[in-house]
Amino acid sequence: MKQLPLVYHKKILVLGLAKSGTAAAEILHDLGAFVTVNDSKPFEQNKNAQYLLSKGMTVICGSHPENLLDEGFSLIVKNPGIPYTNPVIADAKKRGIPVWSEVELAFRISDAPMIGITGSNGKTTTTTLIFDMLEGGNKHPLIAGNIGTVASSVATKATEDNIIVTELSSFQLMGTEELKPKIAVLTNLYEAHLDYHTNFQEYTDAKFNVTKNQDENDWFIYNGEQKIVTDYALKTKAQKVPFYVSGKMEVGISADDLYVYWNGEKLFERSIIKLRGKHNLENVLAATAVSLLLDCSLENIMEVLTSFHGVKHRTQFVREWQNRKFYNDSKATNALATKSALEGFSEPVVLIAGGVDRGHSFDELIPHLHNVKAIIHYGATAERLQEFGVQQAIPSVIPVSNLIEAIAKAVQLSAEGDIILLSPACASWDQYESFEDRGDEFIEQVLALNE
Residue list for the binding site: 119-125
Is 75 in a helix, a strand, or coil? strand
Distance between CA atoms of 232 and 208, rounded to whole angstroms? Answer: 7
CA distances to 183, 241, 341 from 170, in Å = 17, 22, 24
* Sign of the torsion formed by the C-alpha atoms of 157, 158, 164 and 169: positive
Contact (Cβ atoms closer than 8 angstroms) between residue 118 and residue 210 = yes
Q: Which helix (H) or strand (E) holds 356?
A: none
Distance between CA atoms of 242 and 263, rounded to whole angstroms? Answer: 10
Centroid of chain to Cα 50: 31
Binding-site residues for ATP: 119-125
The DSSP string of 79-140 is -TTS-TTSHHHHHHHHHT--EEEHHHHHHHH-SS-EEEEE-SS-HHHHHHHHHHHHHHTT--
The DSSP string of 307-349 is H---STTSSEEEEEETTEEEEE-TT--SHHHHHHHHHT--S-E
Q: What ranges make up the beta strands (E) of 23-68?
A: 34-39, 58-61
| φ, ψ dihedrals at 444, nearest 5° | -60, -45
